[in-house]
């Protein structure tokens, strides 16, 4: 039995679907079961990771956990791991590539809590999500211009479906125990190029208009304070590109153009 947290999120939903396709028993943790809309046969339970005591009734019989940490800080991580380790033998944690560069990041702090739990673990450290570009959707619906900062920042955005495919491999096989997998898309593209490819998927000629960083700060609600510094760093040094997705799944990571085509309706 695989216990999937964040089961209706961008990665978690794909993990649930892939496991269900394989016939693997899945227990999906959601906040609102009525709107979960998950595959038939998936056991849906309601709960909150920030309340480990309230999770106890959902943990019996689980073997593996796909963990999506819901906060931008690691407060309470040790309490949760203590609850999980009493039932699960393996945790596959959706971390971030930044965990390997920033020892003070909440991603790394959650990793350390998992390591202290003394169970099998695998850390997935993806680069930026392709779906992060949905932050421009409102602008694109209104006009053919995206006004944002750091157009020359080059990111190796990864399709969430590829993260999920690696996660399933790690959940169902022991070969990935103790691994820290850095996952990326197949190439680094500037934000200007990302906008251009979204336009191509829409059949429109979108263009970029550079704004100073301070002009977009009030639009970054819910985004870590380090985001602007991260984008700035990718102007000089593009985000890392790895072949890990292909090595683990046997399929090349999906290019951003494919993601843009598959998600074009979200920008219309």
Is 239's pLDDT higher than 90? yes
Residues 37 and 95 in one domain: yes
Query: Which one of 104, 126, 148 terminates a domain?
Result: 126
Condensed to tens digits (0 to 9), the pLDDT of residues 220-234 reads 765 666 788 899 999
Condensed to tens digits (0 to 9), the pLDDT of residues 140-199 reads 999 999 999 999 999 999 999 999 999 999 999 989 999 999 999 999 999 999 999 999
Rg (CA), the chain: 19
Q: Which domain holds residue 89?
A: 2-126
Kindly report the CA angle at 248 between 246 and 252, in degrees rounded to 5? 15
Residues in contact with 201: Cβ distance below 8 Å, sequence separation at least 6, in sequence order: 257, 260, 261, 263, 264, 267
Nearest partner of 231 among 213, 247, 248, 214, judged by Cα: 213
Residues 32 and 99 in one domain: yes
Residues 6 and 106 in one domain: yes
Which residue in the block uniquely carries the two structure tokens 């450290």? 125
- Across 60-88, b (16+ Cβ under 10 Å) vs e yields eebebbbbbbeeeebebbbebbebbbebb
User: What separation, in Å, do the N-terminal and C-terminal C-alpha atoms of the chain show?
Assistant: 39
In a domain, 79, yes or no: yes
Residues in contact with 245: Cβ distance below 8 Å, sequence separation at least 6, in sequence order: 158, 162, 165, 166, 183, 184, 251, 252, 253
Query: Which one of 126, 143, 173 terminates a domain?
Result: 126
Domain count across the chain: 2
Q: What is the CATH number of the domain that holds 147?
A: 3.40.50.720
pLDDT at 223: 64
In a domain, 172, yes or no: no
pLDDT at 258: 98
In a domain, 173, yes or no: no
In a domain, 20, yes or no: yes
pLDDT at 225: 62
Is 217's pLDDT higher than 90? no
Tokens of 44: 């849906």
CA distances from 70 to 75, 85, 140, 240 (A): 11, 19, 29, 25
Condensed to tens digits (0 to 9), the pLDDT of residues 17-52 reads 999 999 999 999 999 999 999 999 999 999 999 888
pTM, two decimal places: 0.96
Using CA atoms, how far apart are residues 31 and 58, in angstroms rounded to an integer? 13
Residues 105 and 17 in one domain: yes
pLDDT at 72: 86
Condensed to tens digits (0 to 9), the pLDDT of residues 60-115 reads 999 999 999 998 899 999 999 999 999 999 999 999 999 999 999 999 999 999 99
pLDDT at 224: 62
Residues 96 and 220 in one domain: no
């Amino acid at each position: 039995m695989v216990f999937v947290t964040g089961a209706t999120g961008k990665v978690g939903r794909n993990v649930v679907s892939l496991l269900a396709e394989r016939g693997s028993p899945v227990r999906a943790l959601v906040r609102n079961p009525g709107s979960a809309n998950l595959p038939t046969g998936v056991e849906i339970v309601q709960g909150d990771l920030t309340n480990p005591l309230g999770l106890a009734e959902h943990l019996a019989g689980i073997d593996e956990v796909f963990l999506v940490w819901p906060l931008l800080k690691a407060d309470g991580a040790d309490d949760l791991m203590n609850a999980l380790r009493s039932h699960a033998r393996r945790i596959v944690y959706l971390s971030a590539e930044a965990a390997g560069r920033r020892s003070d990041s909440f991603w790394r702090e959650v990793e350390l809590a998992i390591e202290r739990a003394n169970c099998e673990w695998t850390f997935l450290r993806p680069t930026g999500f392709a779906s992060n570009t949905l932050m421009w959707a409102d602008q694109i619906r209104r006009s053919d211009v995206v006004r944002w900062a750091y157009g020359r920042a080059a990111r190796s955005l990864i399709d969430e479906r590829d993260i999920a495919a690696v996660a399933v491999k790690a959940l169902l096989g022991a070969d990935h125990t103790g691994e820290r997998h850095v996952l990326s898309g197949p190439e680094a593209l500037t934000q200007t190029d990302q906008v251009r490819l979204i336009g191509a998927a829409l059949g429109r000629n979108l263009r970029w208009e550079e704004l100073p960083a301070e002009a977009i700060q009030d639009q970054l609600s819910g985004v870590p304070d380090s985001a602007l510094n991260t984008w700035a760093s990718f102007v000089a040094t593009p985000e890392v590109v790895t072949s890990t997705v292909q090595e683990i799944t046997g399929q090349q990571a999906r290019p951003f153009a494919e993601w843009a085509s598959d998600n074009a309706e979200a920008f219309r």
